[in-house]
Amino acid sequence: MTATTTPLAAAPVGARPRAGLRGLPWLVLRQHRATVWCAASTLAALVVGLLWLRNGMDDFIDSRAIRDACITSADCPTAQATVDYFRNTAGDLLHYLGYPLRLLPLVAGMFVAGPVVARELESGTYKLAWTQSVSPLRWFAVKLSVPAVAVLAGGSLLSAAYTWAWQAVPEVLLPGQAWYLSFDMLGPAPVAHALLGIAVGALAGLLVKRTMRAMGAALVGYLVLTGALLDALRPHLVSPVTQLSAEVPGLIRDRTWMLERGIVTRTGEHLAEPHCGVGVSPEQCLARHDGAGWYLDFHPYGNFWPLQWAEAGVSLALAAVVTAVAVRLLRRMYR
């Protein structure tokens, strides 16, 4: 009696493979499934919290009639007490719910630098993938693209929810959360910053090849890059508005980001905040510096979205440059 084997049934003509991730992307998600579930749960909780907070703030502001109330006047102490209560409850909660967006670039960069890239280089497990018809460049592309897609999707959702909640509150109620003070938590900027953090983390992982050291290098590299470049560039990404006056310009509150104030000399030069000494009148200060008047440079609220998209573009350009450097380094190290 001879044993017979039944051949595998052939797939029908035109049949498609099963939907879902396969190969290296699936393996990356599988390796970090605990982190994926934790991040997804945190994202869901934050979005739900922001939706609840937005509705609660709208109801409170309208029911207490403080949207246009005389907030600082001594004639309406009831309104002042209500505003103080709002600031200490909903205002603080809104501020803390925005912090994950500010920390997202650091967390994403450190995660990619250490657990995603450096740990495999440190342990040598990358060699197994490279012997399975996976090139070093494809391995690196997947290691970079999987967290980038996750951050792009989740970060965009969280940023949209936070921006929507933030826009419900008049700035006069929460002056400490003005648009220029909350810039890193609003709009497309935090998402672009996170993609830059991922690129910096990938480069740090390739350079250091030690998990904890790579995470530290990514942290330092991102902070240096953004602190030295993005923070310095932000006020100049869009041309500010210049106000000229014969008298010293006062503070402009109406959702305005004031940049610089000073004297315009008779030759047209701008002297920022000239030192005139104690007790010197504005007229004497002008005469001392041969001034013709005063100027004030500021960004009105109308520049918020242009500044957001401009900074996002700069961040993405920097991310592309850092990624190109990392790819070049990878080719030189493992060719």
Q: Which long-range contacts (CB under 8 A, 24 or more apart) does 43-47 make?
A: 43/154, 43/157, 43/158, 46/97, 46/100, 46/158, 46/161, 47/157, 47/158, 47/161
* 292 and 312 share one domain: no
pLDDT digits (tens, 9 = 90+) for 212-249: 999 999 999 999 988 878 888 999 999 999 988 888 77
User: Residue 215: inside a domain, yes or no?
Assistant: yes
* 309 and 269 share one domain: no
pLDDT digits (tens, 9 = 90+) for 157-211: 999 999 999 998 888 888 888 899 999 999 999 999 999 999 999 999 999 989 9
* 142 and 276 share one domain: no
* 162 and 249 share one domain: no
Q: What is the mean pLDDT of residues 99-105?
A: 94
pLDDT of residue 22: 62
User: Residue 27: inside a domain, yes or no?
Assistant: no
Question: What distance in Å separates the CA atoms of residue 309 and residue 317, rounded to the nearest whole number?
Answer: 12
* 74 and 133 share one domain: yes
Domain count, the chain: 2
* 79 and 209 share one domain: yes
- Selection from 253, 232, 329, 234 nearest residue 296 by Cα: 253
User: Residue 5: inside a domain, yes or no?
Assistant: no
Asked whether 175 and 255 are in contact (CB, 8 A), the reply is: no
Q: What is the DSSP code string of 146-167?
A: HHHHHHHHHHHHHHHHHHHHHT
Q: What is the DSSP code string of 302-324?
A: GGHHHHHHHHHHHHHHHHHHHHH
State the average pLDDT for the chain.
Answer: 84
Residue 75 pLDDT grade (very low, low, confident, very high; cuts 50, 70, 90):
low
* 286 and 188 share one domain: no
Question: What distance in Å separates the CA atoms of residue 307 and residue 315, rounded to the nearest whole number?
Answer: 12
Q: What is the mean pLDDT of residues 59-88?
A: 75
pLDDT digits (tens, 9 = 90+) for 297-320: 999 999 999 999 999 999 999 999
* 279 and 192 share one domain: no
User: Residue 7: inside a domain, yes or no?
Assistant: no
* 233 and 286 share one domain: no
Question: What distance in Å separates the CA atoms of residue 30 and residue 26, rounded to the nearest whole number?
Answer: 6
User: Residue 22: inside a domain, yes or no?
Assistant: no
- Selection from 221, 215, 209 nearest residue 329 by Cα: 209
* 118 and 204 share one domain: yes
- Structural domain of 269: 241-301
* 183 and 290 share one domain: no
Asked whether 34 and 85 are in contact (CB, 8 A), the reply is: no
- Size of the chain in residues: 335
- The mean-pLDDT minimum among 129-133, 143-147, 188-192, 247-251 falls in 129-133
* 165 and 95 share one domain: yes
Question: What distance in Å separates the CA atoms of residue 277 and residue 68, rounded to the nearest whole number?
Answer: 40
> How many alpha carbons lie under 13 Å from residue 25 in its C-beta half-sphere?
10
User: Residue 254: inside a domain, yes or no?
Assistant: yes
* Residue 270 host element (H or E): strand 270-272
User: Residue 4: inside a domain, yes or no?
Assistant: no
pLDDT of residue 298: 93
pLDDT of residue 25: 76
* Residue 259 host element (H or E): strand 257-265
The more confident residue out of 83 and 317 is 317
The more confident residue out of 122 and 237 is 237
User: Residue 14: inside a domain, yes or no?
Assistant: no
